Copies of this chain bind each other. A is one copy, B any other.
Amino acid sequence: MARTGRPRAFDKDQALEQALLLFWSRGYGATSVQDLVDALALDRGSLYGAFGDKRNFYLAAVQLYWDTYERQLVAALESGPVLPALREVLATPARTQEHTSDAGGPQGCMIGNTTAELVPQDAEARDIVARSHARFTRIVADALRRAQADGEVTQTATPEAQAQLLLFTVQGLSLVSRAGLDTTAALAAVDALIDALRA
């Protein structure tokens, strides 16, 4: 493996982050390679050289998104009472949306966006999304299992079923919020769900 040659003039990780922001804001199809070239201030060939084609670039950005999200999720659930943390997990997308609703900023959940746009026609995208779903439910179910044992969460349903329900809710909330959300109503719905989980 040769290590010589002209060094890259840009930070690959930082470029990926910026690309994530763009893909997140506009979606896959609506983001042209030219948009990326303009936004990242690097030339076409450099982009292709570093990341392969547009689809690979997007998938890498999605993976970065999920890795970041998962880290935060684990951190939020690893200590303390579970229900307030889960409440926060659900409330965050509802509140975030309020600030950026009219701006051109990121919209919804990147995993959800990918599910809607790419999954039906892209097996690799489906794998990434499915794996993210599985990891989300596993992490949340583990936390709920502990909380059931502690008497914090009701045992009227299995932790797995509860986690699955939370996945649906957070995905639905992120999606619906793109069309404009009554934040108060959304938070009331979140509270209704959290209350229903209480033992």
Interface residues of A (CB under 8 A from B): 25-27, 29-30, 107-108, 112-113, 115-117, 119-121, 126, 129-130, 133, 156-158, 160-162, 164-165, 167-173, 175-176, 178-180, 185-186, 188-193, 195-197
Most buried by B among A108, A116, A191: A116
CA distance A126 to B175 in the complex (A): 12
Q: A106: nearest residue on chain B (CB-CB)? A: B120
As for how many copies of this chain the complex holds, the number is: 2
List B contacts of A176 (CB < 8 A): 115, 133, 167-168, 171
List B contacts of A115 (CB < 8 A): 116, 175-176, 178-179
List B contacts of A112 (CB < 8 A): 116, 175
Whether the pair B172, A130 counts as a contact (CB closer than 8 A) is no
Chain B proximity of A4: nearest CB distance (Å): 42
